[in-house]
Copies of this chain bind each other. A is one copy, B any other.
Amino acid sequence: MRSVSVIGIGETKMGVFPDKSLKELIKEAGSKAINDAGIDKGLIEALYIGNFNSSYLCNQSHMGALASEVLELGNIPTLRTENACASGGLAFRYGYLAVASGLYDVVLVGGVEKMTHRETEVVTSALASASDGTTEFEIGATFPSLFALIANRHMYEYGTTREQMAMVAVQNHDNALLNPNAQMHKKLTIEKVVTGFPVAYPFTVFDCSLITDGAVFTVLAATEVAEKLTQKPLVEIIGSGHAGDTLTLASKKIITEFPATIKAAKEAYEMANVKPEDIDFAEVHDCFTITQIIHTEDLGFFEKGKGGFAVEEGLTAINGKIPINPSGGLKAKGHPIGATGLSQVYEAVTQLRGEAGERQVKNAEIGLTHNIGGTASTCCVHIFRRR
């Protein structure tokens, strides 16, 4: 496998844009990424696109061909990937693998989701379709309730507190205040989180990630080709891992750690030949406050059970030992499902280029992105290094 680098990135603002069409979101983010790379789009040999559920929410399937037409990419092959909230991360992985294996030299990888034009019940159903239809969704076990079970068990096993979870939300909102593309620009307090509208104990509405419209695209190229193509600082993909787990929560032996994350991270760390302590910052999949805590343990940043305490001690802040979600994360930057994995890559590249402005992590040289689908039934992890 040969070296691959990210040479262009583009994203829309994340937010509530019921009047923007899928095509407009794709056009904006895709064009930005191609312009950022500064390449002739005729060089793009394939398109990978993550989309979770526009089939249901927008009556629009076949997103690869739609995006290719919108971006005027001609007869290139396209592929839509879908593994729930990890759809974007997998588009990225398969775009990466296509270039790494020598199949293509330059590819476009994007993600898109359009959600806010539908009623909340419809969006809830669309999201719940990522769980088991017959044993979870049909009995009303939507994701907030499933992750609430996980949170309760983590509190019971490790003494993680309600306040520590609230601090995740507070911190991610603080970070999002520094991200012009973030959906939420609103300071939170622990009290506000804890006394918010209850969803499923211990979660209030402030523990849950957002419903978001948005699109993100990236241009990948073989590093040897990229060096001749662009003046942009290259960000190399040095690790890629992908693993899975059962779909249903009931079938998992342990619910306070996620084997898919542990396995995908191991694969990515080994490939990159780095250890958790080498990572300068990470974008992790904080669909709920508890999941950020669990991921930071599973990724090896903190001992099992210490993730909540680490937040309390400020270790995950932008100026902390291992900054987590400097973008604001799914919680505050937003969670446009199929685009989320790509939005993490957008942040990683922005940080490694030193272009993150007020939220810049100091001396960022190696970054990690972590994207899950369902109750961590799918996970992919990528590691990036500034060249």
List residues of chain A with CB under 8 Å of any chain B CB.
Answer: 1, 21-23, 46-47, 52-53, 55-56, 58-66, 68-69, 73, 75-84, 90, 94, 97-98, 100-103, 125-126, 128-134, 137, 242-248, 251, 259-260, 263-264, 373-374, 377-378, 380
- Residues from chain B with a CB closer than 8 A to the CB of A101 are 1, 97, 100-103
Is the Cβ of A378 less than 8 Å from the Cβ of B77? yes
- Residues from chain B with a CB closer than 8 A to the CB of A98 are 97
- Residues from chain B with a CB closer than 8 A to the CB of A58 are 133
Name A244's contact: one of B21, B22, B78 (CB within 8 Å).
B78
- Residues from chain B with a CB closer than 8 A to the CB of A73 are 244
Interface class of chain A by DSSP = mixed
Is the Cβ of A244 less than 8 Å from the Cβ of B97? no
Is the Cβ of B132 less than 8 Å from the Cβ of A66? yes
- Residues from chain B with a CB closer than 8 A to the CB of A83 are 62, 64-65, 78-80
**Most chain-B Cβ atoms within 10 A of its Cβ — which of A55, A65, A84, A90?**
A65
C-alpha gap A84/B62 in the complex (Å) = 5
**Most chain-B Cβ atoms within 10 A of its Cβ — which of A66, A68, A97, A248?**
A66
Is the Cβ of A130 less than 8 Å from the Cβ of B62? yes
Q: A77-B378, A94-B94 are in contact. List 19 more A-B contacts (CB 8 A).
A: A55-B55, A55-B126, A59-B137, A60-B129, A61-B82, A61-B130, A62-B82, A62-B373, A62-B377, A65-B247, A65-B377, A65-B378, A66-B247, A69-B132, A73-B244, A78-B378, A79-B90, A81-B82, A97-B103
C-alpha gap A103/B1 in the complex (Å) = 9
C-alpha gap A77/B94 in the complex (Å) = 12
- Residues from chain B with a CB closer than 8 A to the CB of A1 are 101-102
CB distance from A332 to the nearest CB of B (A): 25
